[in-house]
Chains A and B, each alone.
Chain A
Amino acid sequence: MPEALVTLSLRVNGDDVRVAVRPSQTLLEVLRVGLELTGTKQGCDKGDCGACTVLLDGEPVLACLTLAVTCEGRVVQTVESLTREDPLVDAFDCHGAGQCGFCTPGMLMTAKGLLAKHGRPSRETIKQAISGNLCRCTGYGPIVEAIAAAGEGRRGKKDEEPLPAPLPSWEAPKP
């Protein structure tokens, strides 16, 4: 017998959305497949890597281990909610904190959750906060520096340079 669909209402990146989901679908699947918000990445799909981190009611959690139906009425924020002007995105850019970029959406959302609580976190606090997000490229240094810079309102080496124009093709998909 196919699973009965359930209508789920939640707030995603500021929009109220209603989406039909199967009880066995994870929030990650619903975001990526149901709502076509593919910014949130699927790495291991079993809680090991942190690539799927999103903010659920403001807290960084793993979307691959969250049942979508348990998100009824809750507030989800994904990487698509961050604009090009966001100090964190800018700092990641300026510090080269993303290489292949696969961990970046998860790192950004973890960092977003951290900065909402600690205005200017120490390097140690940052390392603790991102310890559930694996990065295979950067060696973490640039990521820690980027988050620290965003917390302190610095742009790093490129402080003097004006912001580049946003990429013309880039527009957040509306769910």
Chain B
Amino acid sequence: MLPLPEFTVHTPASVDEAVALLAKLGPGAMLLAGGTDLLPNMKQGLHAPAHVVSLQRLGALRGVRREGDALVIGAMTTLDAVAGSAEAKTHAAALAEAAAVVGGPQHRRMGTLGGNLCLDTRCRYYNQTAFWRGALGYCLKKDGDTCHVVEGGRKCVAAASNDTAAAAIALEATVVLTGPAGIRRLPAADFFVADGARNTARREGELLTALEVPVRAGRVSVYEKLRRRGAIDFPLLSVAVRLDREDGSARALDVVISALAAKPRRLAAAQKLGAADLATLPIDTLADAALRECNPLPNIEGDVVWRKQMVRVLVKRALGRATSLA
């Protein structure tokens, strides 16, 4: 058995109450949504909050709704509900596809979009029991001062392992946070930060309340994931693609690649495409560029050479699917 450390549970009934509680309890408190990431991590001694603030009663944060030209998805919406939402499948396909391949069915029924966006980064030297970590020597993400992945590294490079992150960035979504200072909106691309020890821009005391995804005519998006088994496994590599078309031709393309390091990366080669390139959409060139741009680290399971080679394959697959849908 992996017992949980001791804590006190709070169950606020509104967002305001939750924010007030966080302010009162200070840094010793952590938020609990579905618990499918926080609880295993607490069982491994990675977090030991004195207070756990459960968001279970915040019904207002559940559900997918259309507001003007945006899809607003509440943070407490389960991944199952995101994956099954007709609106999400139509207007935010990459997000619905990403939600559909998180973990196994039980994780998607319990796990929430907010929890997925705020997922702790993962590393083969971090997601281990306290005994295991202690035996090897703690690393700088938790209790130590060295990195076992990058020798002499001063910065944690644990991998962003949340499937929805790359999709949210590709879809130009906005993360909505509520804190003591009120509501703050951040583009998903800025919400994620390149630091494995703390990879989101969420400030102390803030609550993620929703993800806003713009709805655009002529937009298609897809998500591809590499994993060993067809279920349960975290991504070893992931690719989200958004393609905007107007009058039958491509106007904008975004390719976001994740599960490499702490922050999902936008493929520079895709950003640089001019109007003429977009019209022909050089899939092979882009896939080759992605292979050159991405260098997986031995931070998570899976052979790095395999993960690198698969960058080209997944980018090709995603682009192929996106163009066939457009």
Contacts and interface: CB of A to CB of B under 8 A. Distances in A.
A binds B: yes
Interface of A: 2-4, 6, 22-26, 29, 42, 45-48, 50, 53, 59-62, 65-67, 69-70, 110, 128-129, 131-134
Contacts of B231: 131-132
A131 B6 CA distance: 32
A61 to B, nearest CB: 5
A65 B42 CA distance: 11
Given A61-B109, A132-B231, A50 B9 contact: no
Interface in B225-271: 230-232
Contacts of B199: none
A66 B52 CA distance: 13
A97 B95 CA distance: 36
Given A25-B4, A65-B39, 16 more contacts: A23-B52, A24-B3, A24-B5, A46-B2, A46-B39, A46-B40, A46-B44, A47-B103, A50-B104, A50-B106, A61-B106, A61-B110, A65-B34, A66-B110, A132-B231, A134-B232
B323 interface: no
Interface size class of B (residues with CB under 8 A): 20 to 34
A110 B105 CA distance: 9
Given A46-B44, A131-B104, A26 B4 contact: yes
Given A23-B9, A24-B6, A69-B9, A47 B44 contact: no
A42 B1 contact: yes
B36 interface: yes
Contacts of B44: 46
B105 A128 contact: yes
A22 to B, nearest CB: 7
B274 to A, nearest CB: 42
Interface string B32-49: 101110011001100000
Contacts of B54: 67, 70
Contact of A53 (B9, B11, B106): B106
A50 B229 CA distance: 15
A62 B2 contact: no
24 contacts: A3-B6, A3-B8, A22-B6, A23-B9, A24-B3, A24-B4, A24-B7, A29-B1, A46-B43, A46-B44, A47-B39, A47-B106, A59-B109, A61-B109, A65-B36, A66-B35, A67-B32, A67-B35, A67-B54, A70-B9, A70-B11, A70-B32, A128-B105, A132-B107
A61 B34 CA distance: 10
B110 A131 contact: no
A62 B106 contact: yes
A65 B139 CA distance: 26
B192 to A, nearest CB: 24
B56 interface: yes
Contacts of A42: 1
Contacts of B110: 61-62, 65-66
Contacts of B4: 24-26
Contacts of A6: 9
Interface of B: 1-9, 11, 32, 34-36, 39-40, 43-44, 52, 54, 56, 103-107, 109-110, 230-232
Nearest to A53: B106
A65 B40 contact: yes
Contacts of A24: 3-7
B106 A60 contact: yes
A8 B197 CA distance: 36
A163 to B, nearest CB: 31
B39 A129 contact: no
A131 B105 CA distance: 7
A46 B4 CA distance: 11
Nearest to A44: B2
Q: Which 6 A-B pairs have CB atoms at the shortest separation, nearest pair first?
A: A132-B104, A131-B231, A46-B40, A24-B4, A23-B9, A132-B106
Nearest to A63: B106
Contacts of A25: 4
A118 to B, nearest CB: 13
B6 A45 contact: no
Given A42-B1, A70-B54, A131 B9 contact: no
Nearest to B127: A46
Nearest to A59: B109
Nearest to A32: B1
B279 to A, nearest CB: 39
A46 B107 CA distance: 11
A65 B43 CA distance: 10
Given A24-B6, A62-B36, A65-B36, A70 B106 contact: no
Nearest to B80: A59
A45 B36 contact: no
